[in-house]
Structure 1
Amino acid sequence: MVKIVNKDIERKEVRQIEGKNPIVEALKSDVNIEKIMIANGRRESGAQELFELAKEKKIKVQMVDRKKLDFMSKTGTHQGVIAIASEYEYTDLADILDMAFEKGEKPFLVILDKITDPHNFGAIIRTVNACGAHGIIIPKNRSVDISPVAVKASAGAIEYTPICKVTNLTQTIKDLKKVGLWIAGADIEGKKYFNNDFKGPIAIVIGNEGEGISRLVKEECDFLISIPMYGNIESLNASVATGIILSEAARQRTNSNI
């Protein structure tokens, strides 16, 4: 088997988690949270679960003026609570593949090419987790990063979804093909997505909704898939397209007991 190694990648990024549900999921996972700041009066309006989980994990809870949270917020919708967490740590691609094999499953990955909107990214992370995919691959350049907006949009799914950042996306695709994965690129020129076989080891490439996947990435794909459009619009939001394609892949893989 070919060993896949990521070179020259920043493994960690500082993050701020905003909103009750994302913070609750972070508390339930292995994320190292340094402290939680809650707006004065928030205890009486639905933050009791946060207090209990924080107490259980011995995490400092600080009551602050809501204006402080408004100033700190990156999302504009902090819901009266912000957590300062340890740096986000990306996962090595080899480790993601190993996780799939350890489960006795064939790898099921999503590759994001030039996705730059953090809301889209967060929604895709949530979909990837819901559909049982093993992880996400993003490029180092010209790509969205982990941010408070993406974290909040993922609704906690980021804590359970491995993400790998690579220097060269086309080389990574070549490496994946060498270890037996098929690469399917979402493209208007492709065959209708539901007429394709997603049951084996596969990575699905999703591109920017305006430009699609890049030429070099497209050339490395084994086959192209498309979503037929029956109305007046010609394209879909990247996260919506991901949801449609991944739900079909998950259906096929579940029915095949993979």
Structure 2
Amino acid sequence: MLYGRHSVEAALANPRRRLIKLWATQNALQRLEGKLPSGLAVELVAPHVLEQLAGSGSVHQGLVLEAQPLDSVLLEDVPAEGVVLVLDQVSDPHNFGAILRVAAAFGVHALITTERHGPGMTATLAKAASGGLEHVAVIRETNLARAIEAIKEKGFTVIGLDSEADNDLVTAPLQPPLALVLGAEGKGLRRLTRERCDLLARISLPGRIVSLNVSTAAAIALYIAQTARP
């Protein structure tokens, strides 16, 4: 179940999504004029019905969409180009969703994460991603260290983000294909993950706080990587 204007509109426009049914208020449905796929079941409802469908307190913005989960993408299908993100046990759905949103904004085409200790593809995550879930392939791997080795064999340079690293991300080799690895808040990167990276780098900050929320760190790292391109 997807809810919220950006999440629902992105899913409606995604040809890879198999849609089942849309519930909407009259006003929200008017905003979707011309965006509804033919044949989609639509039901006009009052806002309290949407809250029952999406969950109490959800910011549904007048829209709830039932859809099948997106088909899985395999690691071997990831092209050796551009930038990918690797998340090491980032489990909070709000952080994960925010990272997906940032990733989509910067043109990241894949996000690799752990099968265990990772969030499910829930409506909460999709809402936080604000449509990003439709644009960035999410690949779940049981062994993240092995997955990092696999993308290195494809030609990716793998850089792990660590606030205590000796290297500054600004001076790191950031030419694509590039993989940026971020760890969970508090724990950071696990030992095996760190050992598989080609380089560990920090985001240098002028203030006294040197660690950032993981989604904020992802946004800054992607901006630095983008500005490093010729």
Residue equivalent to 2:20: 34
Q: CA deviation at 1:252?
A: 2.0
Does the aligned pair in 2 maintain the 1:70–1:76 contact within 8 Å? yes
- Partner AA of 1:240 in structure 2: T
Is 1:109 the counterpart of 2:58? The answer is no
Residue equivalent to 1:72: 53
- Partner AA of 2:59 in structure 1: T
Q: C-alpha offsets along residues 13-43 of structure 1, whole Å, 9 cap, x if unaligned?
A: xxx11012211111111112111011xxx32
DSSP-derived class of the 1:204 partner: strand
Residue equivalent to 1:249: 225
Residue equivalent to 2:185: 209
- Partner AA of 2:68 in structure 1: S
CA–CA distance in 1 between the matches of 2:143 and 2:7? 31
CA–CA distance in 2 between the matches of 1:224 and 1:207? 12
CA–CA distance in 2 between the matches of 1:203 and 1:251? 16
Q: C-alpha offsets along residues 196-244 of structure 1, whole Å, 9 cap, x if unaligned?
A: 1211322110111211111110111110111123223231110000000
CA–CA distance in 2 between the matches of 1:19 and 1:112? 25
CA–CA distance in 1 between the matches of 2:189 and 2:23? 40
* Pairing 1:86-235 to 2, within 5 Å after superposition: 86-97=68-79, 106-190=81-165, 191-235=167-211
Q: CA deviation at 1:76?
A: 1.2
Cα RMSD, aligned residues only: 1.7
- Partner AA of 2:32 in structure 1: L
- Partner AA of 2:67 in structure 1: A
- Partner AA of 1:33 in structure 2: L
Q: How many residues align?
A: 227
CA–CA distance in 2 between the matches of 1:90 and 1:238? 24
Is 1:47 the counterpart of 2:43? The answer is no
Could you state the TM-score of these two structures normalised by the residue count of structure 2? 0.92
Following superposition, which runs of at least 4 residues in structure 1 exceed 4 angstroms of deviation? none
CA–CA distance in 2 between the matches of 1:161 and 1:90? 12
Q: C-alpha offsets along residues 58-87 of structure 1, whole Å, 9 cap, x if unaligned?
A: 211112232222122247111121000012
Does the aligned pair in 1 maintain the 2:23–2:45 contact within 8 Å? yes
DSSP-derived class of the 2:35 partner: helix
Does the aligned pair in 1 maintain the 2:163–2:210 contact within 8 Å? no
Residue equivalent to 2:5: 20
Is 1:81 the counterpart of 2:66? The answer is no
Does the aligned pair in 2 maintain the 1:107–1:181 contact within 8 Å? no
Q: CA deviation at 1:112?
A: 0.4
Q: C-alpha offsets along residues 107-141 of structure 1, whole Å, 9 cap, x if unaligned?
A: 42110011111111111111112112221001101
Could you state the TM-score of these two structures normalised by the residue count of structure 1? 0.82
| Structure 1 stretches lacking a partner, 5+ long | 1-15, 101-105
DSSP-derived class of the 2:58 partner: coil
